[in-house]
């Protein structure tokens, strides 16, 4: 059994980190799937998905500071010559993080830890409306 | 068909890198699934999962040195102000690496290379008992 | 329903970034699966898989510059002492990026964005013939 849903998230860009756990959880509930694998996937090449503890220090400061350290915005990116834009760092960060996350579904619940939430990171240089695809494969019984 | 199992791994923390390939392989054998997708997922927000060659240089030195270079322990993390703890770097490293890994199952085996093992990285600042969820979706026949 | 295929990609190594979207898409078409989850997995511990915009700036310059900044080739790696080789940085980069990617399949198509392609990154220090496994779990109907 396969279940698919999409939802949209408005971001501020600039390595905005947004907790999407509730939205993903709602899709799982709607699906009726009790045992399986759930994939969270962000459409586009300047955003990524991972997990973290959703507390203000990490969400508003520390993850952004990490990505700025490893792929600084002010560095020269050849990408920006191609399009005459300013988001080379956003592409690089998104590729390094990855656009998707696979999570087990056991007894109708994601196997996340208590302080482990699903987050979208939008690295682009402007506010964006992001599309998240949630795909679940598994069984309703059990 | 879906199969689910959990096991625990005792770590020393401090970017301890532990080969869990045999434990994951045992779950696959128990499952009887021959064709499908297997997900390895670590519960918690200060650890991650990936693959590497399980030889002492990488396991005991090189991966840790990489994570120390990109997310130094002594850097200031706002997370530590929130909880008055010392593991901000561990959260950042875990989010960058990601908590899960999806591997094909073909003819009852993982499609890993000969020198490619599944490893748990525990970034926390103290020894932990980690919970690993192995989730397999697929078919017993074929 | 599970479908599995393998294909090979000749690379130049040295953080060669290769767009494999068409090859993966062909496997999906052959599978006949319309709804499900597709996993792209690279065999070996010196390569990785992610998505990016397949334009020359990112493919030929920016991603390589990022990996050189965070895991420099000339750094000392204990791995090289173990094998007396020169690809410690390649192992470290591959572990940080990860060998696999899970993508939703909806109505027979991958849910990639218009400027979001699937890429193989070969970090090894010499040309390689890489093996990619594409594994799809889902349904033909729908």
Distance CA B75, CA B73 (A): 6
Q: Are A4 and C106 inside 8 Å of each other by CB?
A: yes
DSSP state, residue B58: I
Give the minimum alpha-carbon distance from B79 to chain C in angstroms, rounded to a whole number: 23
Tell me which residues of chain A have a pLDDT lower than 50.
Answer: none
Q: Each residue of C53-84: pLDDT tens digit?
A: 999 999 999 999 999 999 999 999 999 887 88
Backbone angles phi, psi at B32, to 5 degrees: 75, 0
Tell whether the model's pLDDT for residue B142 goes beyond 70.
Answer: no
CB A141 within 8 A of CB A20: no
Q: Each residue of A7-23: pLDDT tens digit?
A: 999 999 999 999 999 99
Q: Tell me which residues of chain C have a C-beta less than 8 Å from any C-beta of chain A.
A: 35-37, 50-53, 55-58, 60-63, 65-66, 69-70, 96-98, 101-106, 111-113, 115-117, 119, 137-139, 142
Distance CA C15, CA C7 (A): 20
Pick from A62, A98, A106: CB nearest B77: A62
Q: Are C111 and A41 inside 8 Å of each other by CB?
A: yes
Distance CA C21, CA B122 (A): 33
Strand order in the sheet with A117-122: A16-19, A117-122, A47-52
Residue whose token pair is 């007396």? C84
At residue B77, the pLDDT reads: 96
Pick the closest to residue B102 from A102, A40, C90 (CA basis): A102
CA A141 vs CA B44, B96, C54: distances in Å: 27, 35, 42
Is the confidence metric ipTM above 0.90 for this complex? yes
Q: Are B91 and A60 inside 8 Å of each other by CB?
A: no
Give the minimum alpha-carbon distance from B57 to chain A in angstroms, rounded to a whole number: 23
Distance CA A67, CA C36 (A): 32
Kindly report the pTM of this predicted structure: 0.98
How big is the CA angle at A118 (ends C120 and A57), to the nearest 5 degrees? Answer: 110
Pick the closest to residue C33 from C11, C63, C70, C2 (CA basis): C2
């Amino acid at each position: 059994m396969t279940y698919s849903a999409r939802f949209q998230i408005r971001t501020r860009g600039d390595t905005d980190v947004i907790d999407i756990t509730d939205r993903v959880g709602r899709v799982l509930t709607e699906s009726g799937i009790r045992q399986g694998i759930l994939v969270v996937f962000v459409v586009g090449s300047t955003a990524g998905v991972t997990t973290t503890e959703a507390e203000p220090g990490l969400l508003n400061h520390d993850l952004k500071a990490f990505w700025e350290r490893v792929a600084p915005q002010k560095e020269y990116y050849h990408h920006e010559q191609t399009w005459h834009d300013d988001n080379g760092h956003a592409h690089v960060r998104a590729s390094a993080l990855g656009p998707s996350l696979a999570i087990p579904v056991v007894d109708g619940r994601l196997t996340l830890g208590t302080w482990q939430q699903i987050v979208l990171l939008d690295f682009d240089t402007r506010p964006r409306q992001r599309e998240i695809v949630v795909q679940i494969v598994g069984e309703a019984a059990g």
